[in-house]
Amino acid sequence: MKKKSIAIIIYFLFLNKIAFAKEGMPQLNPEFWLSQILWLTIIFVILYFLIQKFFSPKLFALIDSRTNFIKSLLEEAELCKNQIQKLESEYNLIITEAKNEAKKISIKLKNDFSDKISLKRKEFENILNSETLKAEQEINNFKKQTLENIQNIAGDFSKELIEKITGVAPNSSNLNAVILEISNKEKKSQYV
Amino acid sequence: MATNPMQQFEVHRIGPSLSFNGIDLSFTNSSLFMLISSILIIFFFIAGTRKVNIIPGKIQLLNELVFNFISKMINETVGPNARPYFPFILTIFLFILTLNMVGLLPYAFTVTSQIIITFFLAIVIFIGVTIVGFAKNGIGFLKIFAPSGVPVFLFPIIVAIEIISFLSRPISLSVRLFANMLAGHTMLKVFGGFVVSLGIIGGWLPLSFSVALTALEILVAFLQAYVFAVLSCIYLNDALNMHH
């Protein structure tokens, strides 16, 4: 029984495959199976050993070093970027401060200038007022004097005229009073 | 040119016969193409890492491209705690990719079209992942078979399904790669046979199909290597970061 079962197992493991191989599938011929397994093991193990011990660490180290190199460059670039941003913000701050300062100076100059202008204007107005006052006074004086001269001339002329017409010299004080009255009337009619 | 499209998958001895306790361990054409592929990978890495610079050259850039591609894939599927497994996943991906690509060259042997090769790789990953799972989570790793939030009456069925699904991982992983390579190369051989048999007058159509199929096979070669590596990462993720 045991022998029979072993024979069946052997048939299913090898002999039927030989039959298949003879019919057309050389892969199922177990003649070189162990040889192929042996050589596959030897070659694969050597290849694996070489890749694991030599090529893989070398390439890993290279890729790691490149990654680190790129990382350091990126960090440097980031640092430069931050510095540029800092400088830019400082520059913007300086520009803003300068603008504010310029604005302040401009406002101050404007105020100073306007103060000076108003001062000068005041001075000029004062001078103008005093000059106007003086001129008015002079005009009034001249007017007064002129009026007195006109009255005197009118009195003398009237005295001589009355004397020539009537032959009698009029009283000077009466004549002057009459002329003064007439001139006052004239003055009033002019202002009315 | 051989007429049988399956003849290209035959393994034969190269050089002297080597046996141990009656087991044939001879160097075969399969072993030769494994060796050639490994040498190509080693040369690729030597050329890329001979003079490493911060600003990479062409080969170094290609090295880094593969490196970053696998690194990104592992990070996305497993997370940062999978860094110790990176060399293994990288080796698996490059080994399968090179075997697939070398197999596309005329008269070359496609190692990944051998079920024993893909199955052995898959079983190594399966056993490795299971060991990692038990080492990281102890007996709690068995929780992978018991998803949370399952109704009690469904629990035995779900556990049985999960166990079958877990055990079938090496089979699905290995058969996927093997079947894709087998089918692609068989098709290429069949269409190549048509080109020869139809001659210079009628052979243009199968030739154009062959060209298109070769392009497709290059894509499949890359895709299958990627799928194998991604699935290995997913299995590793199950062991490292248990979701159940």
Q: Express each pLDDT in B168-193 by its tens digit.
A: 999 999 999 999 999 999 999 999 88
Share above pLDDT 70 across residues of chain B, in percent, rounded to a whole number: 98
**Confidence tier at A73 by pLDDT (50, 70, 90):** very high
Q: Among B161-170, B198-207, B218-227, which stretch is predicted with the lowest mean pLDDT?
A: B198-207
DSSP alpha helix (H) spans, A24-55: 33-50
Question: Where is pLDDT greater, at B44 or B17?
Answer: B44
Spatial distance between the Cα atoms of B238 and B142, rounded to a whole number of angstroms: 11
Q: From B130, B219, B136, select the one nearest B170 (Cα to Cα).
A: B130
Residue A42, burial from CB neighbour count under 10 angstroms (0-12, 13-18, 19+):
middle
Chain A CB contacts of B42 below 8 Å: 47, 50
Residue B231 falls inside a structural domain: yes
pLDDT of residue A14 exceeding 70 = no
- The predicted-structure confidence for B191-202, as pLDDT tens digits, reads as follows 988 888 888 888
Residue B3 falls inside a structural domain: no
Which residue shows structure tokens 């940062």? Answer: B80
**Confidence tier at A7 by pLDDT (50, 70, 90):** low
Q: What is the token pair recorded at A1?
A: 């029984």
Nearest to B117 among A36, A56, A59 (CB): A36
**Confidence tier at B1 by pLDDT (50, 70, 90):** very low
pLDDT at B70: 94
Question: Where is pLDDT greater, at A187 or A101?
Answer: A101
Residue B192 falls inside a structural domain: yes
Q: Among A183-187, B18-22, B79-83, which stretch is predicted with the lowest mean pLDDT?
A: A183-187
Q: What are phi and psi of A83, to 5 degrees?
A: -65, -45
Q: What is the token pair recorded at B193?
A: 């046979």
Looking from the CA of A19 toward its CB, the CA atoms found within 13 Å total 7
A63 touches chain B (CB under 8 A): yes
Contact B78, B233 (CB under 8 A): yes
Q: What are phi and psi of B36, to 5 degrees?
A: -60, -45
Residue B134 falls inside a structural domain: yes
Buried b / exposed e across A135-165, counting CB within 10 Å, b at 16+? Answer: eeeeeeeeeeeeeeeeeeebbeebbeeeeee
How many CB atoms within 10 Å of residue A29? 19
Question: Where is pLDDT greater, at A33 or A20?
Answer: A33
B162 touches chain A (CB under 8 A): no
How many CB atoms within 10 Å of residue A118? 10
Q: What is the token pair recorded at A163?
A: 């004397």
Return the DSSP state at B21.
T
B54 touches chain A (CB under 8 A): yes
Total domains in the fold of chain B: 1
β-pair partners for B13: B28
**Confidence tier at A98 by pLDDT (50, 70, 90):** very high
Spatial distance between the Cα atoms of B49 and B7, rounded to a whole number of angstroms: 40
Angle at B188 between CA B184 and CA B190, to 5 degrees: 115
Chain A CB contacts of B82 below 8 Å: none
**Confidence tier at B49 by pLDDT (50, 70, 90):** confident
Percent composition of chain A: helix, strand, coil (DSSP 3-state, to 5): 95, 0, 5
Chain A CB contacts of B120 below 8 Å: 36-37, 40-41
Spatial distance between the Cα atoms of B29 and B35, rounded to a whole number of angstroms: 10
ipTM comes to 0.92
Chain B CB contacts of A36 below 8 Å: 11, 28, 30-31, 114, 116-117, 120
Chain A CB contacts of B110 below 8 Å: none
A25 touches chain B (CB under 8 A): yes
- The predicted-structure confidence for A127-185, as pLDDT tens digits, reads as follows 999 999 999 999 999 988 988 888 888 888 888 888 888 888 888 888 888 888 887 88
Of the segments A32-36, A163-167, A186-190, B37-41, which one has the largest average pLDDT value?
Answer: B37-41
Residue B213 falls inside a structural domain: yes
Share above pLDDT 90 across residues of chain B, in percent, rounded to a whole number: 61
Residue B14 falls inside a structural domain: no
B2 touches chain A (CB under 8 A): no
Spatial distance between the Cα atoms of B232 and B174, rounded to a whole number of angstroms: 11
pLDDT at B127: 96
The answer to whether B87 contacts A48, with C-beta atoms less than 8 Å apart, is yes
pLDDT at B185: 92
Residue B13 falls inside a structural domain: no
The range of the structural domain enclosing residue B40 comes to 29-240
The answer to whether A39 contacts B86, with C-beta atoms less than 8 Å apart, is no
How high is the mean pLDDT of chain B?
A: 90
